Chain A
Amino acid sequence: NAGVTQTPKFQVLKTGQSMTLQCAQDMNHEYMSWYRQDPGMGLRLIHYSVGAGITDQGEVPNGYNVSRSTTEDFPLRLLSAAPSQTSVYFCASSWAGELFFGEGSRLTVL
């Protein structure tokens, strides 16, 4: 089983560039979410979705956009990257309250 797949695993951007982090899951989970992980900060929720066509903001949504056109996919968009968005990003899907995480995407913004 593939589970939750994130791409790319590593990315370097310049300030002001845009990019999309891809997330796909093959478990037919309705709930998906994006977190960022920073040293000493734990994981912070960026955006989440309870099903196709429905998204909502988490704890730190500024600078990020999401959409959910299908159950399987939940991309995270950075429209104008900033150095403060340098982080490791994790996508997760959920069933029965348990989160299933991807392997992470390490983003560096110069």
Chain B
Amino acid sequence: GNSVTQMEGPVTLSEEAFLTINCTYTATGYPSLFWYVQYPGEGLQLLLKATKADDKGSNKGFEATYRKETTSFHLEKGSVQVSDSAVYFCALRLTGANSKLTFGKGITLSVRP
């Protein structure tokens, strides 16, 4: 079946540190890949996405590259801020699967001043 695996959390970093959050996937077809972010007390919102191999999604200083050879979509940011503290979810959607997304378990990021 289709699944998304995220690294175990939580993650605590100091402001301006480099961030990597690992995400790997298993899919029967050719999925689109997403990162969603959930700020405290809010619903999820799309952070970035990539729809085919080697695509790079980027937004708000975050980047992730769709790596088909390693079935990965790792999230990176060069310098995190306190305002980046949130829960991050990796997700996939198969082509033709309407809008059904399969989510990873999420990882909590806390950034210290």
Q: Which residues does A use to contact B, with CB under 8 Å?
A: 4, 31, 33, 35, 40-45, 48, 50, 58, 90, 92, 94, 97-104
**Docked complex Cα distance between A32 and B64 (Å):** 27
CB neighbors of A among B90-106 (8 A):
93, 98-101, 103-106
| Residues of chain B at the chain A interface (Cβ within 8 Å) | 32, 36, 41-46, 49, 89, 93, 98-101, 103-106
User: Which of A4, A43, A48, A103 makes the CB contact (< 8 A) with B103?
Assistant: A43
- B99 x A99 contact (CB < 8 A): yes
Contact A90-B43, Cβ < 8 Å, known A42-B89, A42-B106, A97-B93: yes
A42 touches B99 (CB 8 A): no
A98 to B41, CA, bound (A): 21
- Interface residues of A, dominant DSSP: strand
Name the contact of A58 in the complex, choosing from B42, B93, B100 (C-beta under 8 A): B100
**By the criterion CB–CB under 8 Å, are B44 and A94 in contact?**
no
Top-9 shortest CB links A-B: A101-B43, A94-B99, A42-B105, A43-B103, A42-B103, A31-B99, A101-B44, A103-B43, A42-B106
B42 touches A103 (CB 8 A): yes
Report B-chain residues with C-beta under 8 Å of the C-beta of A98: 46, 49, 99
Chain A min CB distance to B73 (Å): 15
12 contacts between A and B (CB under 8 A): A41-B105, A43-B103, A45-B101, A48-B99, A90-B43, A94-B99, A97-B99, A101-B43, A103-B41, A103-B42, A104-B42, A104-B43
